[in-house]
Amino acid sequence: MSAPLLSTDSLVKRFGGLAATDGLSLSVAEGELHALIGPNGAGKTTLIGQLSGELTPDSGTILFDGRDVTRLPVHKRAQRGLARSFQITSIFPSFTALDNVALAVQAHAGHSFRFWRDAGRDRRLADPARAVLERVGLGARADTRADALAHGEKRQLELAMALATGPRLLLLDEPMAGMGPEDSARMVELLQELKGGVTILLVEHDMDAVFALADRITVLVRGKDLASGPPEQIRNDPAVREAYLGDELEVA
Amino acid sequence: MPPTAPRTAHLTRPRIALLILLAVALALPTVADWMGEPFYVRLATRILVFALAAVSLDLILGFGGMVSFGHAAFVGIGGYAVGILFAHQSDGSTLFGLPGTVNGLIVWPLAMLAGALAALPVGAISLRTTGVPFIMITLAFAQMLFYLMTGLKAYGGDDGIALWSRSTLPAPLNIADHTTFYYVVLGLLVAALALGWRLVNSRFGRVIRGAKDNERRMAALGYPVTRYKLVAFVIAGALAGLAGALLANATMFVGPQYLHWSRSGDLIVMVVLGGIGTLIGPVLGAAALLLLEEFVPELMDLAHAGLGEHWKIVLGPVLILLVLYARKGLWGVVAGRRP
């Protein structure tokens, strides 16, 4: 097996006495959809924070694409192809949907010390942005201000922005958070389409979605890797059932 | 798939308002002359100079969300660039081995450079913070520069430098003539507005505006946000420096009070009064503030001698009403709601 695209080695992050990440070693292979699940407080958000660069681990290392990125700032990781979506929708409210995505395209279209040309008329930004909007099903809402979009649409936009950076790895932090069943189903469908084309690390509470999508699942409990493996194995792992899944899995 | 919205070339309300403003500005010296009130030309010149400073502040405050409470420092430094070179020229002494000069083509660009060079370290340090700490640090730097100028005994210290003559420009521009100077300032302001307009709509401008909307997301997209904000801060510093050079020429004087924090406050008031993030709004804000300052005290003194010095009692409620009822300031009132 080739080297993983993303891996952590003995990662530790403490907040006071609490080890939110407790010696975690995780690896995400190129091309897979790797789901990260765990009860509330298991340290999923803290882990995402460290992977994206917003938090610095107390010890341990993070390798991305064969290079140590543990101390690299957020924007440099993003430039190397590590894109993320946010659990709480994080968009540009005063920009249109199209301009939100165009801003993501622009981030990876060379430097932005360009002071003269009207970026709103720049097809090198607008065309790819529109294509990504179409792909996530927001084509018809391109010219709507982002703060006027419905919640589900904002979640789609959130994903579109991450996608538009042409990432090697997508860190998706609960993309279905707050979505109704219809929107969730659309999102699952969309992730199904993306799968294989781009490596995805998916943090999600929706177990149906996770078990439908994931190639591998890691169960995080109290900052530790309780179990890792293909969905079937996780489903039948007695420790997982006991520690976390319980009745939820019976339904799944 | 919907086509991109067609850009209308119609006479929309903001465009009509802009045309009227430009017409008024162009006609003003003629009208003042006809009224026999040449003083109005000098007042209008001051308004345009402060408008330039306020526009430069709006670039970072209105579009980049950087509430700089020390912007007058860069204006003052631009003024001092003109004043110091004037002082050396008038007594024939040298500065770093170079003679002084009153050549506008040299001192005005130097004033811009001085504003930019001062803004660079101030911005580099201040931009490590945001919000209230940013406000406080920019204020602190500005006050430091204020006291520095107060201590510059060689250049007048507290008293500043009185200029006996304006900068010189190539013929036929003789800005010793108030009306010519007025038109030169107007031309520079219009140029700055045009540049600013290009800037905020360029790729660079989008980064700045994106950072105002959601800085965290900008970083996650891969933008080194602080670098872009710093460049914006320096550009604003350069424009403020130019405003300072013009202010020195308008008042024939430079002094530490130009850098005082209350001047920075005035600039923020102009931006808020005129309309944050509108570029043209701060021009109206500058006009409104300076006109109020000019005429309200007089009127109040008429009502009761000595009352005039409390004129800000009028300014306060005006500001509060505007903030409450016109979120885009005077420009919002003039131009109407924009989509």
CB contact, 8 Å: B91 with chain A?
A: no
DSSP alpha helix (H) spans, B10-130: 13-35, 39-58, 71-91, 104-126
Stretch A229-238: mean pLDDT: 92
Residue A49: is it exposed, middle or buried by C-beta count within 10 angstroms (0-12/13-18/19+)? buried
Q: Would you kindly state where each structural domain of chain B is located, as residue ranges?
A: 37-260
Residue of A73, A93, A108 lying closest to B213 (CB–CB): A93
Whole-number percent of chain B with pLDDT over 70: 96
Is the confidence at residue B337, as pLDDT, over 70?
no
Residue A209: is it exposed, middle or buried by C-beta count within 10 angstroms (0-12/13-18/19+)? buried
Is the confidence at residue B300, as pLDDT, over 60?
yes
User: What domains can be seen in chain A, in order of their start residue?
Assistant: 10-81+167-251 (3.40.50.300), 92-151+159-164 (no CATH)
Residue A206 pLDDT grade (very low, low, confident, very high; cuts 50, 70, 90): confident
Contacts of A83 in chain B (CB under 8 A): 220-221
Residue B324 pLDDT grade (very low, low, confident, very high; cuts 50, 70, 90): confident
Contacts of B207 in chain A (CB under 8 A): 103, 106, 112
CB contact, 8 Å: B221 with chain A?
A: yes
Is the confidence at residue B1, as pLDDT, over 50?
no
CA dist B339 and B337 (Å) reads 7
Residue B172: cis peptide before it, omega within 30 degrees of 0: yes
Residue B315 pLDDT grade (very low, low, confident, very high; cuts 50, 70, 90): confident
Q: B76-118: per-residue pLDDT in tens?
A: 999 999 999 999 999 889 888 888 899 999 999 999 999 999 9
As separate numbers, helices (DSSP H) first and strands (DSSP E) second, chain B gives 12, 4
Is the confidence at residue A245, as pLDDT, over 90?
no
8 Å CB contact of B203 and A161: no
8 Å CB contact of A116 and B202: yes
Rounded to the nearest integer, the mean pLDDT of chain B is: 92
pLDDT, residue B9, reads 60
* Angle between helix B104-126 and B131-150 (nearest 10): 140
ipTM of the complex: 0.92
Token match 């130019």: residue?
Answer: B242
8 Å CB contact of A92 and B2: no
Cα of B222 to nearest chain A Cα, Å: 4
CA dist B88 and B190 (Å) reads 32
* Of A224, A225, A229, residue with least CA distance to A214: A229
Residue of A74, A113, A126 lying closest to B220 (CB–CB): A74
Q: Which positions ≥6 away from A167 have C-beta within 8 Å? A: A81, A82, A83, A198
CA dist B224 and A112 (Å) reads 10
Q: B133-192: per-residue pLDDT in tens?
A: 999 999 999 999 999 999 999 999 999 999 999 999 998 899 999 999 999 999 999 999
pLDDT, residue A62, reads 97
The CB-side HSE value for B28 (13 A sphere, CA atoms) comes to: 22
DSSP A88-135: S----TTSBHHHHHHHHHHHTSS-----SS-GGG-HHHHHHHHHHHHH
Q: Which residue of A has its CA nearest to B199?
A: A115
CA dist A84 and A81 (Å) reads 10
Q: Which positions ≥6 away from A166 have C-beta within 8 Å? A: A81, A108
Stretch A240-250: mean pLDDT: 63
Could you give the 3-state DSSP secondary structure of residue A196? coil
For B179-289, list the strands marked E by DSSP.
253-254
pLDDT, residue B339, reads 40
Stretch B278-298: mean pLDDT: 94
Stretch B310-323: mean pLDDT: 84
Indicate the pairing of strand B98-99 with strand B94-95.
Answer: antiparallel
Residue A248 pLDDT grade (very low, low, confident, very high; cuts 50, 70, 90): low
Q: How far is CA B196 from CA A108, B87, B206, B277, B279, in A?
A: 25, 33, 13, 11, 7
pLDDT, residue A234, reads 92
CB contact, 8 Å: A64 with chain B?
A: no
Interface A–B counts its CB contacts (< 8 A) at: 102
Indicate the pairing of strand A224-229 with strand A216-221.
Answer: antiparallel
Stretch B26-33: mean pLDDT: 94
pLDDT, residue B233, reads 98
Contacts of A165 in chain B (CB under 8 A): 221-222
CA dist A216 and A210 (Å) reads 10
Q: A18-68: per-residue pLDDT in tens?
A: 999 999 999 999 999 999 998 888 899 999 999 999 999 999 999 999 999
Whole-number percent of chain A with pLDDT over 70: 96
Contacts of B219 in chain A (CB under 8 A): 73-75, 78
Radius of gyration in angstroms for the set of CA atoms belonging to chain A, rounded to a whole number: 18
Is the confidence at residue A221, as pLDDT, over 80?
yes
Amino acid at B74: F
Stretch A191-217: mean pLDDT: 93
Could you give the 3-state DSSP secondary structure of residue A18? strand
Contacts of B4 in chain A (CB under 8 A): 126
8 Å CB contact of B198 and A115: yes
Q: And the tokens for B175? A: 């800005």
CA dist A108 and A114 (Å) reads 14
Is the confidence at residue A246, as pLDDT, over 80?
no
8 Å CB contact of A75 and B225: yes
Residue A252 pLDDT grade (very low, low, confident, very high; cuts 50, 70, 90): very low
Is the confidence at residue A2, as pLDDT, over 90?
no
Cβ atoms of B166 and B83 closer than 8 Å: no
8 Å CB contact of B210 and A95: yes
pLDDT, residue B2, reads 44
Q: Which residue of A has its CA nearest to B210?
A: A92
Query: What are the two backbone dihedrals, phi and then psi, of residue A211, each rounded to the nearest 5 degrees?
Result: -75, -25
Q: A147-175: per-residue pLDDT in tens?
A: 999 999 999 999 999 999 999 999 999 99
pLDDT, residue B5, reads 47
